[in-house]
Amino acid sequence: MEPAAVILSGGPASVYAEDAPSMDPAIFDLGLPILGFCYGEQIMAATLGGSVAHTEKGEYGPATLTRHGESQLLEGTPSDEQTVWMSHRDAVDRLPEGFTLTASTETCPIAAYENPERRLFATQFHPEVNHTAYGQTMLSNFLFKICGLEPNWTMDNLIEAKVAEIREHIGSDKVILALSGGVDSAVTAALVHRAVGDQLTCVFVNHGMLRKGEPESVEQVFAHEFDIPLVHVHAEERYARLLAGVTDPEKKRRIIGREFWKVFFEEAQKLDGVKYLAQGTIYPDIIESGARKTGGKASTIKSHHNLIPFPEGVRFDLVEPLDHFFKDEVRALGSALGLPDSMVYRQPFPGPGLAIRIIGEITDEKLTTLKDADFIVREELDAYNQRLFEQTGKRNSEHACWQYFAVLPSIRSVGVMGDERTYGHTIILRAVESTDAMTADWAKLPYDVLSKISSRVVSEVEGINRVVYDITPKPPATIEWE
Ligand code: XMP
């Protein structure tokens, strides 16, 4: 394979566990530059004669890193303190011979170490996530200065390569795509359409748990503005029957995913001669769904809708042109393909939709309540983001919200409205800053924005007497509640 370098990524295992991924020590003697972070940092130490131990308390989220002396990897980052993102319970407690300690945090005395002569570098924190303030500088140091590579991953290069790849893959055959209205399937549709034109048909399964106004806008954009053949399937009642009484989050996801494919394939089989199925699977779906393309070593955090298998007897070949892209790259690709901003900057939305934002049983009444509250949240935070965009010229500027929505928990509380006691429902506001959904921090929204959302939700949405704000980063929480 002639690799130019090796990056040892993070992972959920403990290096000394029986089934933990291990490394042939000879890899470190190949003379290749190697960067290990998190699990990769620990396996490097354990393999080369250092050691790893459980820490008394874990370290999750932002941490303050202090540098010690010279470091090729950390060059160009502040020499005193900087913020890095941690997510670990184990840590290296003894360095292998020949290595120098280059940074620590209060909880983690060995947070970065290196052996520049052997071109081996390691960090306990995650340089690849956006919340590590100088992570990009560190990765640039590694790739361009230490390894001497060229930065040639540009959107124009990628579109050209992807279009050629899709044309070659699909030939003159027909392809279908399940459109959800979200960024991933929209960009996939635009890319596949650019490659094979009207050989593509989009199928939109409406399960009734989309946001207010969304089914209408999907039709408007794809059928009318983009002129792509679109089948809109109304499956709202079918879903309501299946989900009645179901409260377990994974069961909801399974039912919705399975039924989605049933409905989808019923439609697909009405179309003649379709050979391919294009999907908007992106890289975080694959990582977080664990087993499939990562070779079984990533831990299953949630079973993602995108990866539900085919039903028995149905065969389409998959086309997944975005499966190596992170969300921010998918947006850049969408813009470069000429998709409108409203679509490219549309928030990510989970396949199971509002079903996983209603904690407990889903009813028509709860769906209406959540749709109405969510509409207000989006209206206010769209306006807030627009104000920030006008001030900074940047879409994902500091403090802009990346994803925001309402959650309806299954609790009631006492309130007072118009001198009357109420016993109403609560709306949870979730708003996060992120670039790729792998990590996120809660958005530091101004009080007046929070206050307006709260007063509009309680006065405009029937049955709600309380609004609370979720102030947990990911990790340890996930962005969604189920
Ligand atoms: P979590 O909750 O895991 O979510 O932090 C990360 C991102 O993924 C979205 N999400 C999903 N997207 N199918 C999807 O296509 C799903 O089942 C699903 N669950 C979560 C979530 O909205 C966030 O942007």
Q: What is the pLDDT of residues 371-411, one digit of tens each?
A: 999 999 999 999 999 999 899 887 777 788 999 999 999 99
Answer yes or no: is the C-beta of 435 below 6 A from any ligand 1 atom.
no
Distance between CA atoms of residues 233 and 413, nearest Å: 38
Distance between CA atoms of residues 150 and 128, nearest Å: 18
335 annotated to a ligand binding site: no
**411-423 tens-digit pLDDT:** 999 999 888 999 9
* Burial of 464 (C-beta count, 10 Å sphere; 0-12/13-18/19+): buried
Q: Is 131 an active-site residue?
A: no
User: Which of 38, 108, 202, 401 does the annotation list as catalytic?
Assistant: 38
Half-sphere exposure of 375 (CA within 13 A, CB side): 13
What is the residue extent of each domain of the chain?
A: 6-145, 155-344, 357-469
Q: Is 462 an active-site residue?
A: no
Distance between CA atoms of residues 202 and 216, nearest Å: 15
- What does the pLDDT average to over 22-44? 96
Quickly count: other Cβ atoms within 10 Å of residue 264's Cβ. 21
185 annotated to a ligand binding site: yes
Structure tokens at 203: 């199928």
Ligand 1 pocket test: pick from 307, 480, 482 the residue with the most ligand atoms within 8 Å of its Cβ.
480
Instruction: Give the model's pLDDT for residue 90.
Output: 92
Instruction: Give the model's pLDDT for residue 306.
Output: 47
Answer yes or no: is the C-beta of 306 below 6 A from any ligand 1 atom.
yes
Evaluate whether 185 touches 178 at the Cβ level (below 8 Å): yes
CATH 3.40.50.300 fits 155-344, yes or no: no
Q: State the complex-level ipTM.
A: 0.96
186 annotated to a ligand binding site: yes
Instruction: Give the model's pLDDT for residue 394.
Output: 78
**Which architecture characterizes domain 6-145 according to CATH?**
3-Layer(aba) Sandwich (3.40)
Q: Is 379 an active-site residue?
A: no
Q: Which atom of ligand 1 is nearest to the CA of 352?
A: 17
What is the fold of 357-469? GMP Synthetase; Chain A, domain 3 (3.30.300)
364 annotated to a ligand binding site: no
Q: Which atom of ligand 1 is nearest to the CA of 257?
A: 17
Ligand 1 pocket test: pick from 479, 481, 482 the residue with the most ligand atoms within 8 Å of its Cβ.
479
| Short-list 102, 55, 278, CA closest to 188 | 278
Cα torsion 57, 59, 63, 65 to 10°: value is 80
Amino acid identity for residue 155 in this structure: M
More confident residue, 315 or 321: 321
- At 412, phi and psi to the nearest 5? -130, 155
Distance between CA atoms of residues 278 and 259, nearest Å: 18
Distance between CA atoms of residues 230 and 172, nearest Å: 20
Structure tokens at 479: 């962005």
Q: Which of 155-164, 282-291, 299-308 has the lowest mean pLDDT?
A: 299-308
Q: How far is the CA of 134 from the centre of ligand 1 (A)?
A: 26
Amino acid identity for residue 321 in this structure: P
**331-353 tens-digit pLDDT:** 899 989 888 787 788 888 888 99
Q: Which atom of ligand 1 is nearest to the CA of 349?
A: 22
Q: How far is the CA of 349 from the centre of ligand 1 (A)?
A: 7
- What does the pLDDT average to over 120-140? 95
Structure tokens at 155: 């959107």
296 annotated to a ligand binding site: no
- What does the pLDDT average to over 214-225? 85
Measured by CA distance, the residue closest to atom 14 of ligand 1 is 350
Instruction: Give the model's pLDDT for residue 342.
Output: 73
Same fold, 6-145 and 357-469: no
Answer yes or no: is the C-beta of 303 below 6 A from any ligand 1 atom.
no
Distance between CA atoms of residues 276 and 253, nearest Å: 25
- What does the pLDDT average to over 345-371? 93
User: Which of 59, 88, 108, 126 does the annotation list as catalytic?
Assistant: 126
Evaluate whether 28 touches 47 at the Cβ level (below 8 Å): yes
Q: Is residue 294 scored above 50 in pLDDT?
A: no
Beta bridge partners of 36: 8, 122
Answer yes or no: is the C-beta of 436 below 6 A from any ligand 1 atom.
no
Instruction: Give the model's pLDDT for residue 346.
Output: 82
Measured by CA distance, the residue closest to atom 10 of ligand 1 is 350
The pLDDT > 90 percentage for the chain reads 71
Give me the chain's average pLDDT, please. 91
Q: 134-158 as b/e, with b when 16 or more CB fall inside 10 Å? A: bbebbbbbbbeebbeeeeeeeeeeb
User: Strand, helix or coil at 28?
Assistant: helix
Distance between CA atoms of residues 451 and 210, nearest Å: 26
Q: How far is the CA of 395 from the centre of ligand 1 (A)?
A: 21
Quickly count: other Cβ atoms within 10 Å of residue 383's Cβ. 11
Q: How far is the CA of 47 from the centre of ligand 1 (A)?
A: 35
More confident residue, 286 or 319: 319
Element of type H or E holding 360: none
Instruction: Give the model's pLDDT for residue 93.
Output: 96
Structure tokens at 337: 């393909």
